[in-house]
Structure 1
C-alpha cells in the first residue's frame, strides 16, 4: 500500500499527508456523516474497520493465511498503534480464520482507531456519564473537508471514473471494504448492486501483483460479508432490523 500526498479543500488549515493514516483509520473517517459530525448508516462499522486492519497487515506481509489459519510474523511491528495492537492480539491468541478474526474483539480495534484519530485532531472526544454512572466517550468529526476528499476518492474508484488498472490500490481496498461493510452513508445499497462487477475487479486491483495477496483480500472480503450478514440476522431476530 503506497502512501501519497492528498490535496485538501480550503476548509483544512494544514496539509495532511495521505499516508500518515492507516487503512482502518481512513475507513472509519469515511463512515462519518460530515453534516452531522458522527458515524451514520454503518451499524457494523467495527467489523469493516477490523477488516481494513487485517488487509493492511496482509498488505505489509506480516500476517498471512497458512492452511486456512491467519498466521502472524512474530515480533513484526509497524509503528502504528492500531495495527500493532492487532499484531499482539494475533500472537497471543489461538489460531483463527479470517472470518473469526473479523469479529473477535473487533470493538477494541474500533476504540483504538477512534482514540488515535482524536489524539491527532481528526475527531473530538467528549467524556460523559450515562445515568451519572457509566463513563462513555462521544466522538465528533473535526476535519469535515478532509473527509469529503476521502469520500470523493472512494466514490471515484467505485463509479468508474478511470480504468480499474489506474485506480490507487488503497482507494480500491477502501471502496471494496466500504461496500462490503455496508457503510450506507458513503455507498448506498443501489450503488453496491450497480457496481458489483467493478467491486470484483477492484478487489483484484487491490491485491497488486501478488497472487497470495489477492487471495487474502478476496478471503477477507468474503469474511466481512459473512460477518455483516450474521450481524444483520442477529439484529433482525432481536427486533432491531436488518440491513440493505
Structure 2
C-alpha cells in the first residue's frame, strides 16, 4: 500500500510494547506538518513569502485523508496564512483522522480490555507490523552519518525530520536526539519551510 508521510509518523509514535500511541504532546501538529510536507512534495501547495499558497494543481485529490482535509481548508481560506497556522489549526483532530484511515485500510485494529480487570479501555494492535518496522528502519538508516545526504530520498528525510522536530521520544530518546541534531539539520536543508515551522510550533507550546 502507498503509505503517506502522516501515516508513517503515526506508526512511529506507536509502541508495540504498550500497544498504544506515545509521545502524544505534539503528535497532532506533527501529523499535520507531515501532511503539509506531502502536499508540498505533490505540488499542491507552495511557499509564497512565508505563507502557504494552493497551486493550480490543487484539483488533485491526496490519498491521505488528513492531507485532503488540510488542502480543502487551505483552498477555502480567505487569505494566505503562515505554515505554522496550518500546522496548529485543527491539530487535535489529526490523530483520530489518521488512525481512522489506518483502521479502515486494515493497518491497525482496536480491541477492548479491562485494566486491572476493572477499568475498561482499548488496545491498538498492528495488523501490518512490517509497516512500522519499515518506517523505523528508514529513520535510523537516514541518521547514519556514512550515508551521503544527497542519496537519501526526500520522503525518508522528511520522516526523520518530523520524528525529530515533533519530539517523538518513543523512537528518538534524549541521547539519540542530541546525537542526531546536526544530521537532522543537514536533512532539513532540502525540505523547505515545513520542518522549521513545526519546530517553532513545538517550541512555542513547550514554552507555555
**TM bin (shorter chain):** 0.7 to 0.9
> Deviations along 1:71-123, whole A, 9 cap, x unmatched?
11264223413222111111112431011111011223332211100101112
> Deviations along 1:174-195, whole A, 9 cap, x unmatched?
0011001100011112222212
Whether the 8 Å contact between 1:24 and 1:49 is mirrored in structure 2 is yes
Partner of 2:133: 148
What SS class does the counterpart of residue 195 from structure 1 fall into? helix
Q: Which runs of 5 or more structure 1 residues have no equivalent in the other structure?
A: 1-16, 129-136, 208-213, 235-244
Partner of 1:69: 51
> Deviations along 1:114-142, whole A, 9 cap, x unmatched?
110010111214699xxxxxxxx956131
Q: Quick one: which of 191, 195, 203 aligns to 1:229?
A: 203
Compare relative contact order (CA 8 Å, sep 6+) and give the higher one, 1 or 2. Answer: 2
Q: Which runs of 5 or more structure 2 residues have no equivalent in the other structure?
A: 114-120
- Bigger CA drift: 83-92 or 107-116? 107-116
Deviation, structure 1 residue 145: 3.6
Partner of 2:116: none
Any runs of at least 4 consecutive aligned residues in structure 1 with deviations exceeding 3 A, and if so which? 125-128
Partner of 1:134: none
User: Given the alignment of the two structures, is residue 85 of structure 1 paired with residue 69 of structure 2, yes or no?
Assistant: yes
Whole-Å Cα distance in 1 between the matches of residues 166 and 104 of structure 2? 26
Whole-Å Cα distance in 2 between the matches of residues 43 and 72 of structure 1? 29
User: Given the alignment of the two structures, is residue 190 of structure 1 paired with residue 152 of structure 2, yes or no?
Assistant: no
Q: Quick one: which of 101, 104, 122 aligns to 1:116?
A: 101
| RMSD (CA atoms) | 2.2
Whole-Å Cα distance in 2 between the matches of residues 91 and 125 of structure 1? 34
User: Given the alignment of the two structures, is residue 28 of structure 1 paired with residue 10 of structure 2, yes or no?
Assistant: yes
Whether the 8 Å contact between 2:111 and 2:123 is mirrored in structure 1 is yes
Whole-Å Cα distance in 2 between the matches of residues 38 and 232 of structure 1? 23
> What is the number of equivalent residue pairs in this alignment?
197
